[in-house]
Amino acid sequence: MTILESMQERLLFADGGMGSLLQSRGLEPGKIGDLWNIDRPEDVIEIQSEYLAAGSDILTANTFNTNQLKFPEDGTYSVENIITAAIRNARVAMERVPSDRARYVALDIGPTGKLLQPLGDLSFYDAYAIFARNVRAGVKAGADLVLIETMNDTYEIKAAVLAAKENSNLPVFVTVTFDENGQLLTGCDIKGVIAMLEGLRVDAIGMNCGLGPVQMQPLLDTFLRYTSLPVIMNPNAGLPRTENGQTVYDIDIETYTREMEQMVRKGIRVAGGCCGTTPAYIASLTRTCRPLSTPMHLEPKQDTIVSSYAKSVVISDDPVIIGERINPTGKKKLKAALKDRDMSYILNEAVRQQQSGAHILDVNVGLPGIDEVALLKAVMMEVQSVSDLPLQLDTSNPEAMEQALRYYNGKPMINSVSGKVETMEKIFPLVQKYGGTVVCLCLDDAGIPQTADERVAIARKIRDTAATCGIPAKDLIIDGLAMTISANSQSALVTLETIRRVHEDLHMHTILGVSNISFGLPARENINSHFLTMAMQNGLSAAIINPGSEAMMTSYYAFRALAGLDDNSMDYIKQFADAAPASKLKVVSSDVSLSEAIRNGLKEAAAQAARKALTELEPLTIIDNDLIPALNQVGEAFEKKTLFLPQLLMSADAAKAAFDEIRSFVKAQGTPQESKGTIVIATVKDDIHDIGKNIVRTLLENYGYDVIDLGRDVPPETILQAVQEHNARLCGLSALMTTTVPHMEETIRLLHEKAPYCKIMVGGAVLTQEYADEIHADFYGKDAMASVRYAETVFNQ
């Protein structure tokens, strides 16, 4: 009988803490107990036998810390040997303590001990490989299930789950560690975690470690409210407290048992313990709770949830806004940005839409002649590094969709499938594997139906096909298709009726690309914003719009206030209460000169002054006579320490705004812009501090240089490659730690040897002139301005 079958019949009991028991047998703090599987197997077997005697049905193999980062060597203490020994020990314990009940050994997978990119330095790909190796070893050693536990980062969880599912057929259980507010380290809430894990089709989910059962109790309520899966609870024996410098836990066996009993009555399916719990706790737990065991009865939940690493968004009768701006169709600037891989333009769009009130962002990079597979993944990952909103992955290329789904952190929206069998055949298996909420277009091989009847029929067909692939209707959002009324005056009515009937008859959610409705008409916002209101009145759940449009957002907030979706009109008030003063500000700053605007760090005013100057003067004259001199004045004051970094950056920002105006003017005229020179900059290998380097980049760009920014933790070879590729005459390297300066030295040696034409400037908190000389840098920049000055001498030679 498999564990999943047993779980149908009865409540299962896990074991409790291991680390502290090993420590009481002499394991030193800070040392890894997994080694005892090989060095002192008897101790491990004895502890696990005690848990079996206490009534545990699941033994967690002693492999929490085992991975190739902690055990990189082959031989005695290889990952495979430790895992094999651990599972053998558990089996030996089971032989020693026989039982009539079926019992199971879990391959225990803990966090890698490193944080994944972009926060840390471990890539998703490498994390996957680490977990996959453990899973393969666990399968070989005969584990009955994979238990992924004590996880606090959704991305690492996803890597582990994919590794488990792609390298075994074992059931996968996942327990995560929340703080008292019900959040993971990266900020994800309970709903978001559940959405992602159910999307990934794991078999059971729950919580362990971090908290005691008392603190977990309210979190469990939320858990049970949202999940359709069996729930596992392995709390600590209370909250850890340091007593005489040692960790102790604050609740006794009685309290623990009472709290666990309550959880069992609420409907959890696996009960156990974590840090601080011992066989005595588990014995008391099984004594009290085994009599409460019942066959499993789970209620499928109907909530539609999408998530990112930090946020969850519920799609419901309260409509949400999906930002449409990261989609090149009809957007010249974005097209250019995608072709040039100008991420900063794209990321600014992401942040702007979030600030304007979007709940989800659509990401579409489809352009003819572009490598969509690579680009969608790259843009998606960049957007996730600056915005914590869930994303809607938007591509018609199934391969691009698969890559994006694999690397997405959370549970995304998927845009889209239609009633065409081919799209469903390609996309539904991906949804089943990675999870996601799918936009379903009401069209099929016969085209776009002209009646609501036919559109609803297609929605039904898609729903039924999805069901055969194990995709529930709650994960489908029906697009009623907004078609322009300029071609057919009835088309809005058909769309609205489709929305209403899908909502009322099929009880499914709906979505629209709203602005299509007005294609070909003047003053489109008038039509769009009113159509949005009408669609929401007919039950629209999600609107794909430009959240930067005041008219659209006005419709949105006004509708919510009128439809009883905005308590006390709080959101509406927040949005519009201080609407008036904003326009006043603009008027005040209108008559400032470009030079003044830059010196005072006034962004808007600088852009405005630049626009005005462009009507009278040559672009180059403006740069040479106003822009650069103003920046220089600020730079000199910074050097004299009469003003400081923040003002320097404010002026840089203002200068950038002016520069952007000049650039787009020049581009519009069609004359190619002359660059003052190309500079490669990077933070050296192993160093993850890059704010200083980024400040340098900002200033260099404002002085008109093309800066190739390679980011942080960059190996010497990559820097050399970039210098050669761009034929760069100057390279800037940053290091903040004494420990990473050797990598800087190594990079300099390599560059001097292979690219002797390139000058190298260095900077960073630990560097000094002497240090820079010692490692043969050409220049030491004590601050960001100094690097600008040096660039001027290099390129003016």
| Cβ at position 392, least distance to other proteins in Å | 20
Q: Which of positions 113-142 make contact with other proteins (CB under 8 A)?
A: 113-115, 118-121
- Residue closer to other proteins (CB basis): 126 or 525: 126
Q: Is 639 near other proteins (CB under 8 A)?
A: no
Q: Is 745 near other proteins (CB under 8 A)?
A: no
3-state secondary structure of 134: helix
Which member of 649, 666, 750, 786 binds other proteins (CB under 8 A)?
A: 649
Q: Which of positions 185-244 make contact with other proteins (CB under 8 A)?
A: 185-187, 209-210, 240, 242, 244
- Residue closer to other proteins (CB basis): 646 or 756: 646
* Tokens 């030295």 found at: 745
Which part of the chain contacts other proteins (CB under 8 A), choosing from 216-224, 368-376, 522-530, 644-652? 644-652
Q: Which of positions 380-419 make contact with other proteins (CB under 8 A)?
A: 385-388
- Residue closer to other proteins (CB basis): 97 or 351: 351
Q: Give 714's strand partners.
A: 684
- Residue closer to other proteins (CB basis): 479 or 687: 687
Q: How far apart are alpha carbons 128 and 116 in whole angstroms? A: 11
Closest by Cα among 157, 211, 175 to 58: 175
| Cβ at position 299, least distance to other proteins in Å | 32
Which residues lie below 8 Å from residue 565, measured CB to CB, with a gap of 6+? 317, 318, 559
Which residues lie below 8 Å from residue 96, measured CB to CB, with a gap of 6+? 45, 49, 52
- Residue closer to other proteins (CB basis): 343 or 540: 343
Q: Is 152 near other proteins (CB under 8 A)?
A: yes
| In contact, 513 and 324? CB cutoff 8 Å | yes
- Residue closer to other proteins (CB basis): 303 or 686: 686
Q: Which of positions 529-568 make contact with other proteins (CB under 8 A)?
A: none
Distances (CA, A) of 60 to 48, 173, 239, 728: 9, 12, 22, 56
- Residue closer to other proteins (CB basis): 650 or 710: 650
Q: β-strands 270-271, 12-13: how paired?
A: parallel
| Cβ at position 347, least distance to other proteins in Å | 5
Q: What's the residue count for the chain? A: 797
| Cβ at position 742, least distance to other proteins in Å | 11
Closest by Cα among 410, 382, 412 to 395: 412
- Residue closer to other proteins (CB basis): 315 or 695: 695
Which member of 588, 765, 774, 793 binds other proteins (CB under 8 A)?
A: 765
Q: Is 647 near other proteins (CB under 8 A)?
A: yes
| Cβ at position 665, least distance to other proteins in Å | 23
Give me the torsion for CA of 500, 516, 454, 442, rounded to 10°.
Answer: -90
Q: β-strands 759-763, 730-734: how paired?
A: parallel
Q: Is 305 near other proteins (CB under 8 A)?
A: no
Q: How far apart are alpha carbons 513 and 413 in whole angstroms? A: 14
Which member of 169, 246, 671, 796 binds other proteins (CB under 8 A)?
A: 246
- Residue closer to other proteins (CB basis): 324 or 349: 349
* Tokens 């909103």 found at: 389
Q: How far apart are alpha carbons 288 and 409 in whole angstroms? A: 40
Which part of the chain contacts other proteins (CB under 8 A), choosing from 81-89, 96-104, 614-622, 763-771? 763-771
Which part of the chain contacts other proteins (CB under 8 A), choosing from 80-88, 182-190, 412-420, 465-473? 182-190
| Cβ at position 325, least distance to other proteins in Å | 14
Question: For residue 275, what is the enclosing H or E element?
Answer: none
Q: How far apart are alpha carbons 442 and 418 in whole angstroms? A: 6
Q: Is 344 near other proteins (CB under 8 A)?
A: yes
- Residue closer to other proteins (CB basis): 130 or 440: 130
Q: Is 581 near other proteins (CB under 8 A)?
A: no
Closest by Cα among 129, 193, 199, 194 to 167: 129
Residue 586 CB neighbours (<10 A): 11
Q: Write the interaction track for other proteins spanning residues 350-369; mark x where CB under 8 A is met and - where it is not.
A: -x------------------
Give me the torsion for CA of 688, 691, 692, 694, rounded to 10°.
Answer: 110
DSSP for 369-430, please give it. Answer: TS-HHHHHHHHHHHHHHH--S-EEEE-S-HHHHHHHHHH-SS--EEEEEES-HHHHHHHHHH
- Residue closer to other proteins (CB basis): 96 or 241: 241
Task: Answer left, alpha or beta for residue 564, where phi above 0 means left and psi between -120 and 50 means alpha.
Answer: left
- Residue closer to other proteins (CB basis): 601 or 677: 601
Q: Is 644 near other proteins (CB under 8 A)?
A: yes
Which part of the chain contacts other proteins (CB under 8 A), choosing from 80-88, 360-368, 400-408, 637-645? 637-645
- Residue closer to other proteins (CB basis): 78 or 348: 348
Which member of 181, 568, 796, 797 binds other proteins (CB under 8 A)?
A: 181
| In contact, 322 and 358? CB cutoff 8 Å | yes
Q: Which of positions 662-691 make contact with other proteins (CB under 8 A)?
A: 685-691
Q: Which of positions 689-718 make contact with other proteins (CB under 8 A)?
A: 689-691, 694-695, 698, 713
3-state secondary structure of 95: helix
Instruction: Report the amino acid identity of residue 237.
Output: A
| In contact, 106 and 59? CB cutoff 8 Å | yes
Q: Which of positions 441-500 make contact with other proteins (CB under 8 A)?
A: none
End-to-end CA distance of the chain: 80
Which part of the chain contacts other proteins (CB under 8 A), choosing from 342-350, 449-457, 481-489, 623-631? 342-350
Q: Is 642 near other proteins (CB under 8 A)?
A: yes
- Residue closer to other proteins (CB basis): 302 or 739: 739
Q: Is 72 near other proteins (CB under 8 A)?
A: no
3-state secondary structure of 300: coil
Q: How far apart are alpha carbons 48 and 494 in whole angstroms? A: 66
